[in-house]
Structure 1
Amino acid sequence: MGTDFWSPLWLSIEIAFVAGIIAIVAGIIMGKWMTTHHFKGKLLLETVLLLPLVLPPTVVGFLLIVIFGKNSVLGNLIMWLFDQPVMFTWWAAVIASTIVAFPLMYQSAKTGFASVDRDIENAARVGGANEWQVLLYISIPLALKALVSGGILSFTRALGEFGATLMFAGNIPGKTQTMPLAIYIALDAGNMALAWTWALCMIAISFLMLLSIHILKV
């Protein structure tokens, strides 16, 4: 198997890993914040955070094009800072994967932090710990199983992202052509053997990720 076979696989893992890290950090921060704060519009904000979970990937891709496109304020700012658009780049694939993976991490983090005994956290605060210390040394360790499960789900979801990536990052071999896109192209070209091989790789990785979650919960 040559470089052309392995390139989409390694690219998928690379993009999913970076997107997963971003989703994990953002999910932990937002999950903790939403667990401990009560304010007007909280339900609306939480609905927005979870929206990518139920929106069609093409809608997510469309919204990313609108937000980061050359006619948007953010798109023009990125163009001015980096002298190139973010669309159809490696980072566009990371952004698309992060957006669709974030809700899974956020939901897991919120559930995990909600199960933490507040008396333990308050005892740490009384002992002189600040909020970051409470988060790092009390909340995260006590919610670790939920956080790890959320991280694995986020990585797996980012690994399988297709629609938003295709629209926002394109299908550029060696740059943005992830495994799901490669499978689609192989199938469209009638290369069933290659499509099956890539599909089995994805199934194996996803199976192992989900199995690790079940083992973690035992």
Structure 2
Amino acid sequence: MEKVKVFIIDDHKLFVEGISSLLAEEEGLELMGYSLSAKEFLSRFDDVLPDVYLVDINMPEINGIELAKTIKIKRPDAQILALTMFDDYEYVEKMIKTGVNGYVLKTASLKELVQAIKTVAGGEKFLGTKIQQLIFNRIGAQNPFQNKPKEAKPHSLLSDREKEILALVAREYSNQEIAEKLFISERTVQTHRKNIFSKTKAKTIVGLIKYAVQNGIVSYDSGKE
């Protein structure tokens, strides 16, 4: 049985090196390599023809959404698996609309990631466990026959990752400290912060902290650990 050839496009070097070493040891998979930017990858597109592309979303110059579109234009039968930290419905929807074959969070287990790769390589669709729940909750919330909660929870607007970052912001962690603590890039932290400001409608850090306290994300006596 032929091995599934995999290529990774992700700008987070430490993550890429880590996941590459793990996938290289998996039976049935062959890691062809990786690119740390979409631009660099596209410059040698024709030299890299894997069975499955693992694509991050938050990348400089060309993001994963635009990259997925470009890959599909150049190679319509390409199998693309989004591998990202973003657990927002909007990102899932945008990636699916580009024609990607699967969406998995970087927090998923290695077992789930390998399953996703092999499923997508076989021409089928795959959504990670948390993404399935996200979509189910989103669609379920639109059901007119479903009993609505007496009081909507404002913080439900935020994804789990955004709540996690907001809690750290409220504890006066810098972007660099948050990135190091959560093992993500500073740019990913910046993107999440931008989304948090937009969703909470806060205009300042003080406004964010007030929101976090009012919604039980942090307490008044919270501080750096």
Report the TM-score when normalising by structure 2. Answer: 0.25
**Bigger proportion of residues as helix:** 1
Higher relative contact order (CA 8 A, sep 6+): 1
Report the TM-score when normalising by structure 1. Answer: 0.25
**Bigger proportion of residues as strand:** 2
